[in-house]
């Protein structure tokens, strides 16, 4: 058994784990990232693609956004289609010029890995599964992997809902709040003849559909489907048929390199800490893709946690770590509420709950309200783009002592 020691052990090489590792390593805190998948796998798995205004501002501040700023595309509007109407919501203008950056998650992951391996810290340990997290209530918690044991001072679980970090939580002290929605989404990464100019949401009697920009040649499409559907239930001709019915007009689609079904679930674990084990990202909370909050919330967790750990190591202040869960949970629930609210707007009531025409007209009225300048539309815009303008400055941001930076406040 090979034995290693570090200050912070990080499980998972997704955006949360990699942002945390970069921030800690640059500040001189030793850390090791352990990832069960190969480097090739994590650098190529297509997932999220919209980065909030404040996330990009924070990554830029910490020198982690060079490629993103060079190659990413800014978007400041979305459109809702309902009953033959297209309602454009200029959330960039409504939020004072804040916009999303379109930059696929796998590109950001590649950048973060390259920065870490380029000298910021030790490279992640890929293809190493953490079998157990032990002794988290002592001063020396341990990550137990095949043939390797890593002794740490703190462990951060960024390894998803079914990872080893969550398995180390005692059920009697932690509660998981869950919601299972009465539908799923078919997600289709498609080759297109032109880039999507903005996010499009369609509310349709046959179910929700959406277009999300990714690159000049790829777009992500979503189709509401029955709970329990699999990709096998959706051959190419059926996908084409339903995209045309719900989203016309459509760009020309050349092929579907990636098709699978997203089980529409949300969850929040409380609290986010047990002893010297702390949770971030999907290990702490799972969101639906509605509103594109998942990756952004994970990065926000990482930045808040980096600040708390730096206070611990630089100043000997344990208070920020003790307060991590209490500070993050209200904003996690705020993101959950926004995602849930948008889902309710985009989906008709299940079953035979009233007349579909009535429900569609109610939703069109709500959508038109978002398209008209005013307090209601502005509040939606700030929440949607993640402006940070209506949030207090977080004392746990790594550079908070240097004073507030535009967009650096965290939920």
CA distance 29 to 67: 25
H or E stretch at 202: strand 199-203
Tell me how far CA of residue 61 lies from CA of 29, 397, 399, in angstroms. 19, 11, 9
Q: In the block, which residue shows the tokens 């003849």?
A: 193
289 catalytically annotated: yes
Residue pair 258/222 in contact (Cβ under 8 Å)? The answer is: no
Point out the catalytic residue in the list 75, 100, 128, 274. 75
Our answer to whether residue 128 is catalytic in this structure is no
Beta strands in 12-94 (DSSP E): 31-34, 50-51, 73-75, 78-82, 85-89
Owner of token pair 């908070």 = 400
Q: Cα(179)–Cα(241) distance, rounded to whole angstroms?
A: 30
Integer Cα distance of 246 and 248 in angstroms = 6
91 is a catalytic site residue = no
Question: Phi first, then psi: what are they for 71, rounded to 5°?
Answer: -110, -15
For 183, residues 6+ apart whose C-beta sits below 8 A from its C-beta are 207, 208, 224, 225, 226, 227, 264, 347, 350
Which residues have C-beta within 8 Å of that of residue 325, sequence separation ≥ 6? 270, 271, 272, 273
Q: Is residue 352 among the annotated active site residues?
A: no
Which residues does residue 143 pair with via DSSP β-bridges, in sequence order? 133, 150
What's the Cα-to-Cα distance from 320 to each of 21, 104, 194, 233, rounded to whole Å? Answer: 18, 32, 47, 49
Annotated active-site residue in 104, 141, 213, 289: 289
Helix (H, G, I), strand (E, B) or coil at 218: strand
Give the three-class secondary structure for 7.
Answer: coil
- 103, 181, 324, 384: the active-site residue: 384
Beta-carbon contacts of 299 under 8 Å, excluding residues fewer than 6 positions away, are 15, 16, 19, 55, 58, 59
Name the 3-class secondary structure at 332: helix
Task: Name the catalytic one among 91, 181, 201, 222.
Answer: 201
Q: Which of 293, 324, 347, 382 is catalytic?
A: 293
Residue 221: name the closest of 191, 178, 183 by CA.
191
Quick one: tokens of 257? 């390199």
Q: Taking a C-beta distance cutoff of 8 angstroms, is the pair 251, 197 a contact?
A: no
Beta-bridge partner residues of 14: none
Query: Does 251 participate in catalysis according to the annotation?
Result: no
Tokens of 116: 């870490």
| Catalytically annotated residues | 75, 201, 289, 293, 384
């Amino acid at each position: 058994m090979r034995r290693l020691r570090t200050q912070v052990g990080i499980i998972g090489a997704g955006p949360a784990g990699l942002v945390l590792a970069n921030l800690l390593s640059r500040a001189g805190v030793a850390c090791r990232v352990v990832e069960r998948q190969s480097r090739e796998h994590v650098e190529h798995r297509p997932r999220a693609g919209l980065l909030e205004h404040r996330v990009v501002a924070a990554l830029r501040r910490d020198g982690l956004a060079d490629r993103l700023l060079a190659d990413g595309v800014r978007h400041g509007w979305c459109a809702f289609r309902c009953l033959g109407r297209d309602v454009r919501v200029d959330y960039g203008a409504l939020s004072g010029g804040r916009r999303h950056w379109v930059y696929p998650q796998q590109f950001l992951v590649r950048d973060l890995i390259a920065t870490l391996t380029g000298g910021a810290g030790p490279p992640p340990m890929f293809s190493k599964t953490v079998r157990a997290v032990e002794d988290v209530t002592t001063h020396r918690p341990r990550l137990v992997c095949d043939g390797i044991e890593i002794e740490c001072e703190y462990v951060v679980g960024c390894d998803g809902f079914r990872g080893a970090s969550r398995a180390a939580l005692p059920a009697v002290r932690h509660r998981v709040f869950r919601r299972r929605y009465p539908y799923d989404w078919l997600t289709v990464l498609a080759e297109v003849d032109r880039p999507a100019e903005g996010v499009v949401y369609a509310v349709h009697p046959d179910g929700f559909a959406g277009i999300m920009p990714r690159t000049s040649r790829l777009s992500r499409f979503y189709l509401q489907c029955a709970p329990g559907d699999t990709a096998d239930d959706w051959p190419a001709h059926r996908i084409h048929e339903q995209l045309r019915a719900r989203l016309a007009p459509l760009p020309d689609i050349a092929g579907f390199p990636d098709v699978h079904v997203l089980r529409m679930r949300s969850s929040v674990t409380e609290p986010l800490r047990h002893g010297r084990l702390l949770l971030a990202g999907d290990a702490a909370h799972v969101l639906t893709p509605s509103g594109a909050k998942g990756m952004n919330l994970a990065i926000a967790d990482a930045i808040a946690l980096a600040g708390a750990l730096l206070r611990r190591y630089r100043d000997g202040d344990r208070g920020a770590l003790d307060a991590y869960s209490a500070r993050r949970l209200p904003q996690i629930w705020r993101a959950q509420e926004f995602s849930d609210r948008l889902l309710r707007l985009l989906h008709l009531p299940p079953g035979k709950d009233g007349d579909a025409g009535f429900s569609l007209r109610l939703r069109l009225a709500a959508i038109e309200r978002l398209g008209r300048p005013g307090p209601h539309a502005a509040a939606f815009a700030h929440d949607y783009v993640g402006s940070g303008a209506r949030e207090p400055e977080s004392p746990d941001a790594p550079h908070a002592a240097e004073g507030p930076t535009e967009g650096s406040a965290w939920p």
